[in-house]
C-alpha cells in the first residue's frame, strides 16, 4: 500500500516541478540533449551498446559523485577486467564530464524518471548484473525494481547530512523498507552509519569505511601547466599570486570580488580566478563583476588574439577546475559561505594548497573532522573572517605551505577506501 501511495503522489509532484525543470533546461542548454533518456528512450547506438553485454549499473548524481563512481569503476575493473558498466547521471554538468572521462567500453545514460513504467522499461533494456548507488540516492522504484528481479543493490560512499537526515526520518516508513533491500551499505563516517541505521538499515549490513573522495588520483606533475598557459594568454605572469574561488555559488563571487579589490592595494600582483559551480551562470557572474567595477574575460574566449589583461578570469568550461587548483596560491571552496552544503575541499588539498571554507560544510562532516583535527584548512564564520584569513594567507607564504602540507598528509593517511568498497560489493 505504501508504494501505491508513493506512485500516486510522485507524478503529481513531478508535474508541479516540471515548470521549474523546463526553466532550468532553457537556462542550461545541456539539459535538452538526450532528454528522451530520462523516460527510457535510447538511440540506436546506445541501445546496441547496452545489448552487447550484461552491465553493472552505477548511479552518480553529479560531479562529486561522478569522480567516486569513476574511481570505483577503475578499481573494480582492475580486479575484474571483463566487467562492463552503465553509468547514469542526473545533471548535465555531470553528464558532460562523464563523456570526457568514461572508458569507451562503458555506456553513459541520463538517470530515468522514477516512475514504474519507465523503470520497468529501462531494466528490461539494461538487464543489470548489479546496482550500485553512490552516496544516497534512494529512488523507490529504482531500488524496488532491482530487488524484485533479484539484482543485488549496494550503496558506496554513503553520507547523511543534517537536513537530509530530518527529511529521511520523516519518511521512515519508506526508507526502512528500501534500506532493507540494500547490502552492503558503505558509509563515510560513524555519524553517517548511526543515522542510516536509525533510518532503518540493518546494522549487520552497514560498514563504516571512510570517504572515497580521498582516493582521487595523485596529481600529475604538470597539472598546473594548462592553467598557467591560459593565464599567460591574458598577460598574468607566472609570479602572480592567484586567489581562486572554486565551485562558487551566487553571492560568493560578489564576496570574493570585494575582498580582491581590498587586498590588491597590499598585493598588486594578486589575480582572481572564479570557477562557478555551474558554467551556465557565466553571464550572471559577468554582470556581478561589472557591478563591482571589475573587468573580466571568460575562459571560453581566451583563445582570441590580442587580449588585454582583465581584472578577473571566469572559468566557464568543464573539466578544468583541478588544473586551476594546481596553479593557485589560496583557494576558497564554494557553496560554503552564502549557500549550505559545501563543495569538496579534498581536491585543492590534493595539490597542497591553502584551503579556506565558509561555515556551511554540512555535506562533508567526516572530511571536516579530519581536516580540522589536523589543522589542514581554515574555516571562517562570515565575510569579514574570510577577508582577514585570505589576507593572512597571502601575506605569509610559510602559513600557506604548512596548511597545504598538513592537508596532503591527511589525504595520504586515508587513501584506500575505494579498494575496501570494491571488496565489500564483491
Q: Which domain holds residue 366?
A: 225-413
Residue 247 belongs to some domain of the structure: yes
Starting at the earlier edge strand, list the strands of the sheet with 270-276.
296-298, 312-314, 270-276, 241-248, 330-333, 354-357, 378-379
Judge if 77 and 132 occupy the same domain: yes
Residues 6+ apart with CB under 8 A from 292: 254, 257, 258, 261
**321-345 average pLDDT score:** 95
Residue 2 belongs to some domain of the structure: no
Judge if 131 and 71 occupy the same domain: yes
Judge if 388 and 420 occupy the same domain: no
pLDDT bucket at 6, cuts 50 / 70 / 90: confident
**236-258 average pLDDT score:** 97
pLDDT at 20: 67
CATH number for position 192: 3.40.50.11720
pLDDT at 134: 95
pLDDT at 32: 61
pLDDT at 174: 87
Judge if 318 and 367 occupy the same domain: yes
| Radius of gyration, alpha carbons of the chain | 22
pLDDT tens column, 141-177: 999 999 999 999 999 999 998 888 998 999 898 899 9
Judge if 337 and 350 occupy the same domain: yes
Residue 35 belongs to some domain of the structure: yes
Judge if 62 and 210 occupy the same domain: yes
Residue 160 belongs to some domain of the structure: yes
Give the Cα-Cα-Cα angle 344, 350, 352 (nearest 5 degrees): 120
The answer to whether the CB of 209 falls within 8 A of the CB of 180 is no
Residues 6+ apart with CB under 8 A from 145: 116, 119, 120, 123
Judge if 310 and 186 occupy the same domain: no
CATH number for position 397: 3.40.50.2000
**97-116 average pLDDT score:** 92
The answer to whether the CB of 174 falls within 8 A of the CB of 140 is yes
CA 351 centroid distance within chain: 18
Number of domains in the chain: 2
- In percent, how much of the chain has pLDDT > 70? 93
Judge if 206 and 142 occupy the same domain: yes
3-state secondary structure of 423: helix
pLDDT tens column, 395-421: 999 999 999 999 999 999 999 999 999
Residue 14 belongs to some domain of the structure: no
Q: Which residue has the cell 542510516?
A: 196
The answer to whether the CB of 237 falls within 8 A of the CB of 211 is no
Judge if 404 and 421 occupy the same domain: no
Residue 408 belongs to some domain of the structure: yes
Residue 17 belongs to some domain of the structure: no
Judge if 51 and 182 occupy the same domain: yes
**13-40 average pLDDT score:** 68
Q: Is the pLDDT of residue 30 over 60?
A: no
Return d(Cα 114, Cα 121) in angstroms, integer: 11
Residue 40 belongs to some domain of the structure: yes
Judge if 241 and 199 occupy the same domain: no
Return d(Cα 85, Cα 9) in angstroms, integer: 32
Rounded to two decimals, what is the model's pTM? 0.78
Judge if 304 and 360 occupy the same domain: yes
Amino acid at each position: 500500500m505504501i508504494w501505491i501511495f508513493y506512485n500516486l503522489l510522485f507524478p503529481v509532484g513531478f508535474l508541479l516541478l516540471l515548470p521549474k525543470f523546463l526553466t532550468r533546461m532553457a537556462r542550461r542548454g545541456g539539459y535538452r540533449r538526450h532528454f528522451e533518456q530520462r523516460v527510457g528512450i535510447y538511440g540506436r547506438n546506445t541501445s546496441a551498446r547496452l545489448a552487447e553485454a550484461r552491465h553493472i549499473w552505477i548511479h552518480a548524481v553529479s560531479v562529486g559523485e561522478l569522480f567516486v563512481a569513476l574511481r570505483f569503476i577503475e578499481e573494480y575493473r582492475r580486479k575484474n577486467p571483463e566487467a562492463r558498466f552503465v553509468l547514469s547521471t542526473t545533471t548535465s554538468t555531470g553528464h558532460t564530464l562523464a563523456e570526457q572521462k568514461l572508458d569507451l567500453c562503458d555506456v553513459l545514460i541520463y538517470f530515468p524518471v522514477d516512475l514504474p513504467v519507465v523503470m520497468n522499461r529501462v531494466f528490461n533494456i539494461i538487464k543489470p548484473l548489479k546496482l550500485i548507488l553512490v552516496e544516497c540516492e534512494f529512488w523507490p522504484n529504482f531500488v524496488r525494481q532491482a530487488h524484485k528481479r533479484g539484482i543485488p543493490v549496494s550503496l558506496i560512499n554513503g553520507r547523511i547530512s543534517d537536513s537530509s537526515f530530518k527529511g529521511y526520518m520523516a519518511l521512515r516508513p519508506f526508507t526502512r523498507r528500501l534500506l532493507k533491500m540494500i547490502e552492503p551499505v558503505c558509509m563515510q563516517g560513524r555519524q553517517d552509519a548511526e543515522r542510516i541505521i536509525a533510518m532503518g538499515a540493518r546494522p549487520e549490513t552497514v560498514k563504516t569505511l571512510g570517504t572515497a573522495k580521498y582516493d582521487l588520483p595523485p596529481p600529475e606533475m604538470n597539472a598546473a601547466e594548462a592553467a598557467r598557459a591560459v593565464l599567460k594568454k591574458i598577460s598574468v605572469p607566472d609570479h602572480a599570486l592567484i586567489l581562486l574561488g572554486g565551485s562558487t555559488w551566487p553571492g560568493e563571487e560578489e564576496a570574493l570580488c570585494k575582498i580582491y579589490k581590498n587586498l590588491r592595494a597590499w598585493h598588486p600582483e594578486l589575480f582572481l580566478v572564479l570557477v562557478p559551480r555551474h558554467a551556465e551562470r557565466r553571464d550572471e557572474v559577468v554582470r556581478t563583476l561589472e557591478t563591482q567595477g571589475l573587468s573580466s574575460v571568460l575562459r571560453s574566449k581566451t583563445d582570441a588574439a590580442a587580449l588585454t589583461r582583465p581584472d578577473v578570469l571566469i572559468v566557464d568550461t568543464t573539466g578544468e577546475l583541478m588544473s586551476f587548483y594546481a596553479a593557485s596560491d589560496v583557494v576558497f571552496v564554494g557553496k560554503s559561505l552564502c549557500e549550505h552544503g559545501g563543495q569538496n575541499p579534498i581536491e585543492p588539498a590534493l595539490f597542497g594548497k591553502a584551503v579556506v571554507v565558509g561555515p556551511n560544510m554540512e555535506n562533508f562532516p567526516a572530511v571536516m573532522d579530519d581536516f580540522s583535527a589536523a589543522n589542514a584548512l581554515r574555516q571562517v564564520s562570515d565575510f569579514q573572517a574570510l577577508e582577514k584569513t585570505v589576507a593572512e594567507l597571502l601575506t605569509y607564504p610559510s602559513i600557506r605551505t604548512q596548511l597545504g602540507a598538513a592537508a596532503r598528509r591527511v589525504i595520504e593517511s586515508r587513501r584506500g577506501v575505494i579498494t575496501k568498497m570494491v571488496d565489500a560489493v564483491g
